[in-house]
Structure 1
């Protein structure tokens, strides 16, 4: 990705809107703006910094393109740290494309994905956690995720990581003294004190990992999987939760053969809701594959909604699914893990924790006989799992189901406070940052094991340096170039 030259891009979302913005950044941005901007005021004597000026944007021949507002912002006190110019046009695709073409005709180059934010990072305007937070602010699925992104954008996570790294650097200095002056009359770092200081940093890392687990669903959306026997009403329930017809509903068994994923909010909690193929023995090869994928998704889910026909009750397939979930959990090696998407179902290694199943007794209006849903008595538990009664077809009990599902997801992730929803200033690393933190924790655990085993301090310092270097990857001080490319290539163009 370029680090020099002047770049330009449309900074507002595609489509039609009242206002659209062309952003230009680089050493020639103000000159380019001056060449394509025709001021409306005869008293115009040049751009005043950070002041909107009205005029017309013109093409290379001088023909007017649009009535605009333009602003020039000198670096380094800009988003990118460079000279920046913006042109505020009417928000039509044709208008924006014409003005962008005019900027490029006068010397600007089309910006790549995330190139503005990458320049801000490279020019020291923000660390890598803040740069990632820019994209996360835009993509936040709910207010909880927005608060977490805001905290990272303010630099709170970077500051916390810097504190932990400073503790390790101080420990490194003490180790150097102990190694370089072993016979001098200086305080030597005792192994117990060495381990205690390492453990304090490790506790801080574990705290950040716990925060990631609690905040993950607010940033990425919790994975909630609808499972159950064919014709139990899973697709109808999905449509009811979405508030629109998304899944095909018929009386024919096996209608749903592949999973369907849709984003939705359950009582304010962002969720990736997945409808899966019905569980049953079948000779159809395609349906068999659908059932296998269903089981894989169940193994990944933050919550399984086990949909059961209220009149029929739990059958063999449902009981087998419950046993499958519990057996998988018993053999799980790591209960804390990142949330995979259904697209990576076959490679998932995580499983549903015990008790992460909510039994949904559907078709209560039919099971209640002549009295309908009002006459149906829903048990509090079924096979040790909490239970909710609904009629997906009539929309009865769906709101209560959403509230119960939200509570179970947050309880499983260790949510606390106001219903588990993040508050202003809460710090929670994203998935990449959590993966780096796990590597740092591995280094610290190995370091403490070496110290307890009596390994010489000069050898222990290698692992200490390794832990410091890993933590530096979070804020971008030592992040590999390929990781930076991956991060910024996921941004939208214009940001």
Structure 2
């Protein structure tokens, strides 16, 4: 392996900048770059910071720095690693990197440090992906999730399931190779039961995938309802600033407005949409069509109704009296809906929650005054995370999209295998599905990943990682 070098800190000026080297010549290049200022300095004591000057390729001093050498294999990459901690000026950091490159290092590619860690057995592919996800984590919840996955819990769980399938393959080979011998092999009923156990374990991991996506990418929360229900006022109240235009004129919002915010550590994207009604002109018709598209893509819906317009008896009816709200309730499907009875200061309903809302959660508030916003934030968070997984995200058992696809394909193969066993198909015919399921599990940890797959994963990393 060649020795690679890259800037490990974020672009731009800062207090500290770090240039990292990894490979067989890391110590040699560091020794040529570094001039110690301590009279007692002898070579580089591993894992200890040394004070001195960093030199350019011509031997001229560039900066006052700290340098450290970390011998492999107990490093991030599994190789010899060296770091130079200099002042974070753009010119200084770039000059230190250029000096390292002139002395024989090669510019690292995107994700090459993490890729070397994977290739050298320091982490599996699920852990390597967790590195990039941790760097890009948009919230506290996403950080917790990334740290837990970085510890390798997901990889260990998948490897345990693969070991279970390996045991089944051994039992299958035993039954196929020695059909006439008196050797112990699993009967079909027990075989099917063990396959079913692995299937259920995979389904548990897949249920957690939605939580992983929400924690890392954020949840899309769509505010929907009739015109003048107070959707824009509610969005402004949640954001704590005037973002959406609010007037008494019906149909003020023609296009959707999207803004991000943090909901007690959970990243969300609020989407204010045009009020649902029969459009009177083409522009409004287009806006309402976009509203319906956003509703179909939502992770959760805030259904805002005008409590003042519905009146005291508006919640007592069995059938929803508001056409826009009725449409959302009818078309939401499995998307969580939180009913918001807005303008509660104008009307306190005689019955609450509304009978026509069924089992959906509901609350009363006043968007203009802010009364009830704290309860809304808490209830909305519960609504978004409901049904994602019983396992909390910090347990690290939620796969990302690539891993979930591999797990789903493994589950389908096992589903077909389970049906084949119950139908009495010979074990040698069942072996193909079992081998395929095992191969899909290997894709999660990277045991059989191709160069093309690895390239597609690591090219999204930053260069210094």
- State TM-score, norm by structure 1: 0.84
1:404 to partner: Cα distance: 1.3
Q: Distance in 2 between matches of 1:258 and 1:310?
A: 24
| Residue aligning to 2:388 | 413
Q: Distance in 2 between matches of 1:46 and 1:255?
A: 72
1:31 to partner: Cα distance: 2.3
- Does 1:444 pair with 2:414? yes
Q: Distance in 2 between matches of 1:246 and 1:489?
A: 36
The answer for unaligned runs of 5 or more in structure 2 is 311-320
Deviations 1:90-138 (A, max 9, x none): 2233332232222223233322221111111111110011111112222
Structure 1 residues 121-132: aligned runs within 5 Å: 121-132=118-129
Among 385, 389, 392, which residue is 2:367 paired with? 392
Range with greater deviation from structure 2 (99-108 or 197-206): 99-108
Q: Which runs of 4+ in 1 moved over 6 A?
A: 375-378
- Does 1:185 pair with 2:155? no
Q: Distance in 2 between matches of 1:71 and 1:206?
A: 46
Deviations 1:57-91 (A, max 9, x none): 22233333221111111222211112211111122
Deviations 1:420-459 (A, max 9, x none): x545x45222222222111111000101111122222111
Alpha carbons 2:69, 2:81 under 8 Å: kept: yes
Going from structure 1 to structure 2, the CA distance change for 1:58 and 1:395 (only over 3 Å counts) comes to farther
1:360 to partner: Cα distance: 1.8
Q: Distance in 1 between matches of 2:108 and 2:286?
A: 43
Structure 1 residues 39-438: aligned runs within 5 Å: 39-251=36-248, 253-282=250-279, 284-313=281-310, 315-325=322-332, 329=333, 352=335, 356-365=336-345, 367=346, 379-381=352-354, 383-384=356-357, 385-415=360-390, 421-423=392-394, 425=395, 427-438=397-408
Deviations 1:263-316 (A, max 9, x none): 322244332322223323335545433322322221232310012233223632
Alpha carbons 1:151, 1:426 under 8 Å: kept: yes
1:357 to partner: Cα distance: 1.4
Alpha carbons 1:302, 1:412 under 8 Å: kept: no
| Residue aligning to 1:472 | 442
Report SS of the residue matched to 2:386. helix
Q: Distance in 2 between matches of 1:378 and 1:46?
A: 80
Q: Distance in 1 between matches of 2:27 and 2:267?
A: 42
Going from structure 1 to structure 2, the CA distance change for 1:195 and 1:293 (only over 3 Å counts) comes to same
Q: Distance in 1 between matches of 2:96 and 2:274?
A: 50
> How big is the alpha-carbon RMSD for the aligned residues of Structure 1 and Structure 2?
2.5
Alpha carbons 2:225, 2:231 under 8 Å: kept: yes
Report SS of the residue matched to 1:206. helix
Q: Distance in 2 between matches of 1:61 and 1:299?
A: 62
Going from structure 1 to structure 2, the CA distance change for 1:23 and 1:254 (only over 3 Å counts) comes to farther
Q: Distance in 1 between matches of 2:250 and 2:368?
A: 17
Among 1, 5, 19, which residue is 2:2 paired with? 5
Report SS of the residue matched to 2:19. strand
Alpha carbons 2:209, 2:388 under 8 Å: kept: no
1:407 to partner: Cα distance: 2.0
Q: Distance in 1 between matches of 2:43 and 2:282?
A: 72
Going from structure 1 to structure 2, the CA distance change for 1:247 and 1:55 (only over 3 Å counts) comes to farther
1:204 to partner: Cα distance: 1.7
| Residue aligning to 2:313 | none
Alpha carbons 2:338, 2:380 under 8 Å: kept: yes
Going from structure 1 to structure 2, the CA distance change for 1:487 and 1:376 (only over 3 Å counts) comes to same
Number of equivalent positions = 453
- State TM-score, norm by structure 2: 0.89
